[in-house]
Structure 1
Amino acid sequence: MTQDHLKYLEAYLQQFSNLSPEELALFRTQLSFKEYRPKDFFFKNGEVQKKMGYVCKGLLRRYYINEKGKSITTGFVKENEYATDYPAFIQQRPSKYYMECLEPCIIIELAYEDIQEGYKNFKSNERYGRLIAEKVLTIQTDRVESFLFETAEERYLNFIKDNPGLSNRISLTHLSSYLGIERQSLSRIRSKIAKK
């Protein structure tokens, strides 16, 4: 394990301050690091995601391919967020999504079996599992509601507000796909806002 990995591990484990020394010791043995290059996949459509990923460094894009063969971006996962198709992961069923690295990534991985073992043996682990589930559900609900109740410009402005600096790390194509608007429309919105 490199010095960087150790630094990332300690920062990650600080979230689990309620764990007993025994729980923490077991948890440490279950975590592993993996480095990914841009265009590598954390998982692909049709695969069962075997490991939960926590992004220490880098950026990933979650997308699916629609019936016309077009790639539709449904989310971005950056530092200190979980890379997962959570509903499929929990049920250990094949994902409908692709999770692709847009930048070099360092990800802490925890196997599904180890998560289940933690739930079974330690009550506090269930609490952390619930918190992750709540966070994922909130992100998904916010996205659906943004399409129902916001204009394209509002979706863009909220994305910029909620994700400072992220628009500089992703292409206009990926961002417009995520926001559900044509690339040209996004360019118009951006130039209109720049003139204000």
Structure 2
Amino acid sequence: MKKFSVVIILAVFLFSCGNEIVPKPKPYLTLKYPISSYKKIETNCPYSFEISNLANINFKNNCWASIEYPQLKATIHISYRKVEGNLNEILKEIEKLTFEHTIKADAIPDYRPFENLDEKVFGKLYNIEGNVATNIQFRVTDSVKNVLSGALYFYAKPNYDSIVPAIKYLEKDIIHLIETLEWK
């Protein structure tokens, strides 16, 4: 009986290990970003808006601003221009800066329009696909006195495939900024 048990155990060991090769499953990167909450930014400038609690904002004397996301190593640079009968010139200049990226961009799909008649906020948001310096640019105006434009920059060599999740995460914060913009 003892010999029979030894034979069975040996048989199990010999036949249980096959030469079957099983590939490892392909891993996928999962990035989890915190849910954004927002705070209103009041300034001496002719505008106010809300930004993420994860961001820091710094203003310059000319009402230009930098919204920094230290954890993402990203900054949204905001430029303010007062309209003095030159609205079309300002808007063309901003659009020219956007389309200078066509050399490196894979695509610049149609812009996303914004319109809030109650607050007199009219704007466009551009997503620029590819290895470019800035993947999101926007402009907002009241069509009379004020123009605000912005661009998203990362502190890294452009590698679009790697930063797409961060771009999408920050895009919703930029949209929130535009939707909460109020002119004074």
TM-score (norm 1): 0.29
Structure whose residues are more often helix by fraction = 1
Structure whose residues are more often strand by fraction = 2
Which entry has the higher C-alpha Rg, 1 or 2?
Answer: 2
